[in-house]
A and B are shown apart, each in its own frame.
Chain A
Amino acid sequence: MEEIITQLSNFIAAKILKQPKRVIAAAEPLISSGLIDSFSLMDISLFVEDTFGVRIEDTELNADTFDSLEQLAKLIMARQ
């Protein structure tokens, strides 16, 4: 779980926020806070599929399905 969160955090910090040194806390809200905008949701979906082999459907790309790294990591683990 820790490992997945770190990988997700590194990816989001470097590719989406363009602040590679930024650490994202596991419980920090991502979508509802506006930290991740809708144009970046596809990036997360592609990254998760390529890295962890887990599919996230397009209807799941919203804060109801996951809004933090913790929730996203749980979703990934449940589907691996």
Chain B
Amino acid sequence: MTTLAHLIHKNYQTQPQKTAVVLQHAGKDDLPISYHDLVSGSARYANLYASAGIQPGEVAVLILQHGADLVFAFWGAILHGAIPSIMTFLTEKLSPERYRADLSALIAVTQPAAIVTYPEFESDVRSALKDGDTVREVLLTSQLEAESDPEFDQLSGLTRPPEEIVLLQHSSGTTGLQKGVALSHRAVLNQLEAYTRALALTEADVLVSWLPLYHDMGLIAGFLMPILSGNTLVLLSPFDWVRAPYKLFQAVSRYKGTLSWLPNFAYNFCAHKIRERDLEGVDLSSWRVITNCSEPVKWESHQAFYQRFQKYGLRMNALQCSYAMAENVFGVTQTPLATDPVTDEIDRESYINERIAKSPVDGKPTLRMMSSGRALDNTRIRILSEAGFDLPDRVIGEIALQSDCMLTGYYHRPDATEKALRDGWYLTGDYGYTLNGEVFVAGRKKDMIIVGGKNVYPQDLESLAYEVPGIHAGRAVAFGIEDPEAGTEEVVIVAEVDTDDPAERQKIADALRRHISQNSAVALRHAHLVDSKWIVKTSSGKTARSANREKFLQEIERT
């Protein structure tokens, strides 16, 4: 049985001169890295882990930005048999105190043996460490020994059994960082086998991605899959892309890119925020599959994207969808190749009130649902009622899945693992319905907010709100509302305050907005301050987020 380490070793032997990764960085020349250089660069990191006494099976947290060191430190951990976990890097808006608190939260649960970072970031990392925690080494990118040919018989990653955990994936925020999805070699390889079959991936495919590697879509589809499959990956920085979205199109054109993955908001963002002059001479005819994934997929977003880019050679049937999650390594469904995603026009009222996707009723408003595709051939899907019974086509229930590529568990969290699994099925917390084998995702049972493809836990945002002077504990509620223009969700916080002075309220709203921005991965769009007793509570005194969302929507509709 193979492991991830065996696969990159094989690529090193069979196609050393092929370009594995092209790193793009604003204002710099593209940096191509061959498979030979990828593995030798990574072997230096493997040696660094080994000489620092990091044992195979121990976790190394990588706190590195887009660039060669992140790539090498990740594969170096794999070659050494250590478990890499990529953490977001500190940004200019994020408060350093919050970053340290998040890092401490990650360390407490994940218990890493090492953290890898830059020399200039070492003191920030050390300040998050406490006496008695598990981190024995803060390894720096400056500590590498000179390059030499890798000695494969010395690399302990090549002797790991395939059942062992190979990597951890986290989502952001205090809650997300405490729930690392642990995946085995076997799970990752089974996923890639099924997913590459669905894509009909060949070695000629060129992947272009700007997605962050701390997120499952970026890590699996936009990093592991192409490198393990021996493809060429063109990797942009998410930081650069959001300031220059046209770079994705120029990269596809220049490198004849064939595959990309994008969250839904990116379709709207690209369609509306790119200048014509930045697309001059761009040819998108090589782009054969662009997969919409990681937040609810919108037909309107595909239309806007196609209309904008068809004159550059974009094909309509390149626009596909996937439903994916870290707990299944990545993909759960995918649109069948070279077909348009199935759409389903349904009656809006019965969708909202009865949770059934019925045919349209004459004269009544409808919704156009877009399918996320069909289950991968290694994954089975069921739609379950509250009581756990199978539901027929068109009836909305919780999506459950079973496959040969499921998570080993939430790392060091048997409680959370037990809660998520029932008789070998993973309960996704997402609602959906099926129709002739097509899967339509229809909202979430869990309260998670998805902004621009990032998962955000409302309880984290509410805890932050309570830290703002003027807002009391238990008197704020966070939720997401759809923003059709942006193709994603916007974050709303409603908070009860004692003052009714408009100037005072403005001050609190500003402080709330600033505090959320600096302490979470998202921007707060609506800071809505209200009188006391506004927030709807359940009979047991808990905050009912969906009821508060409805109340908020009615209130802003009236104004």
Q: How far is the CA of A28 from the CA of B275 in the complex (A)?
A: 29
**CB-based contact A33/B506 at 8 Å:** no
Q: In the complex, how many residues of chain A place their beta carbon closer than 8 angstroms to a beta carbon of chain B?
A: 24
Closest Cβ of chain A to B371, distance in Å, is: 27
A39 touches B513 (CB 8 A): no
B517 touches A61 (CB 8 A): no
> Does A63 have its Cβ within 8 Å of any Cβ on chain B?
yes
A37 touches B93 (CB 8 A): yes
Interface flags for B504-518 (1: CB within 8 Å of A; 0: not) read 001001000110111
Assembly CA distance A46 to B243 (angstroms)? 11
Chain B 219-268 residues near chain A, CB threshold 8 A:
239-240, 242-245, 265
Contact of A39 among B26, B240, B275, B523 (CB under 8 A): B523
- Contact yes or no, A32 B243, CB < 8 A: no
Interface assignment of A80: CB less than 8 Å from any CB of chain B? no
From known contacts A46-B275, A59-B27, infer whether A31 and B92 are also in contact, taking CB-CB under 8 Å: yes
Is the pair B523, A42 in contact by a Cβ cutoff of 8 Å? no
Chain B nearest CB, measured from A80 CB (Å) = 19
In the complex, what residues of A have CB within 8 A of residue B486's CB? 39
A35: Cβ under 8 A from any B Cβ: yes
**Contact assessment for A46 and B273 in the assembled complex, using a CB-CB cutoff below 8 Å:** yes
From A32, A42, A59, A63, give the contact of B242 (CB < 8 A): A42
- Cβ-defined contact, A39 with B245, below 8 A: no
Number of A-B residue pairs, CB cutoff 8 Å, is 60
Question: Which residues from chain B contact A35 at a C-beta distance below 8 Å?
Answer: 513-514, 517
Chain A residue with the shortest CB-CB distance to B238: A38
Asked whether, in the complex, the Cβ of A58 is within 8 Å of the Cβ of B240, the reply is yes
A12-42 at interface with B (beta carbon < 8 Å):
17-19, 22, 31-42
Least Cβ–Cβ distance between A67 and chain B, in angstroms: 10
- In the complex where A18-B526, A59-B27, A63-B92 touch, is A34 in contact with B243 (Cβ < 8 A)? no
In whole Å, how far is B232's beta carbon from the nearest beta carbon of chain A?
25
| Residue of A31, A49, A59 touching B93 (CB-CB under 8 A) | A31
Within 8 A of A (CB), among B480-538: 486, 506, 509, 513-514, 516-518, 522-523, 525-526
CB neighbours of A36 from chain B (8 A): 523
With a cutoff of 8 Å between Cβ atoms, the chain B residues found around residue A43 in the complex are 273
With the chains together, A66 CA to B271 CA distance in Å? Answer: 26
Shortest beta-carbon contacts, A-B, top 5: A34-B517, A37-B523, A58-B244, A34-B93, A58-B243
From the candidates B27, B509, B523, name the one contacting A34 in the complex (CB within 8 A): B523
Q: How far is the CA of A46 from the CA of B239 in the complex (A)?
A: 18
Q: How far is the CA of A18 from the CA of B509 in the complex (A)?
A: 13
A39 touches B269 (CB 8 A): yes
Kindly state the separation between the CA atoms of A62 and B244 in the bound complex, as whole angstroms.
12
Task: Give the CA-CA distance A46 to B506 in the complex, in Å.
Answer: 28
Establish whether residues A34 and B26, one from each chain, have CB atoms under 8 Å apart when the complex forms.
Answer: no
Judged by a CB distance under 8 angstroms, whether B452 is at the interface is: yes
User: Are B243 and A41 in contact, CB atoms less than 8 angstroms apart?
Assistant: yes
Q: How far is the CA of A42 from the CA of B273 in the complex (A)?
A: 7
Q: CB distance A18 to B525 under 8 Å?
A: yes
Q: Which residues of B contact A41 (CB under 8 A)?
A: 242-243
* Given A39-B269, A42-B243, A58-B244: A22 and B525 interface contact (C-beta under 8 Å): no
Decide if A38 touches B517 in the complex (CB within 8 Å). no
* A33-B269 in contact (CB<8A): no
Distance of A18 Cα from B556 Cα, bound (Å): 12
For B278, the closest partner residue in chain A by CB is A58
User: In the bound complex, how far is the Cα of B240 from the Cα of A37, in angstroms?
Assistant: 14
Interface positions, chain B 360-407, Cβ under 8 Å from A, are none
Q: Are A38 and B242 in contact (CB under 8 A)?
A: yes
Please state if A61 and B513 are interface contacts (CB–CB under 8 Å). Answer: no
Assembly CA distance A36 to B523 (angstroms):
8
Tell me if A62 and B92 are in contact (CB < 8 A). Answer: yes
List of B residues within 8 angstroms of A49 by Cβ: 275
A22 touches B506 (CB 8 A): yes
Alpha-carbon distance A43/B523, docked complex (angstroms)? 15
Residues of A within 8 A of B93 (CB): 31-34, 37
Cα-based distance from A34 to B265 in the complex (angstroms): 20
A32/B525 in contact, CB under 8 A: no
Can you list 13 pairs linking A and B with CB atoms under 8 Å apart?
A17-B525, A22-B506, A32-B93, A33-B517, A34-B523, A35-B517, A37-B517, A38-B239, A38-B243, A49-B275, A58-B240, A61-B243, A62-B92
Chain A residues with CB under 8 Å of B240's CB are: 58
Q: How far is the CB of B245 from chain A (nearest CB, A)?
A: 7
Query: 15 new A-B pairs (CB below 8 Å) besides A34-B93, A42-B243, A59-B27?
Result: A31-B92, A32-B93, A34-B513, A34-B518, A37-B517, A39-B486, A41-B242, A41-B243, A42-B245, A43-B273, A46-B273, A46-B275, A58-B244, A61-B243, A62-B92
Residues A58 and B26 in contact, CB atoms below 8 Å apart: yes
CB closest chain-A residue, reference B486 = A39
Are A32 and B92 in contact (CB-based, < 8 A)?
yes
User: In the docked arrangement, what's the CA distance between A64 and B273, Å?
Assistant: 22
Distance (whole angstroms) from the CB of A8 to the closest CB of chain B: 18
Q: Closest CB-CB distance, A33 to chain B, in whole Å?
A: 5
Which of A22, A31, A39, A59 meets B452, CB within 8 Å? A39
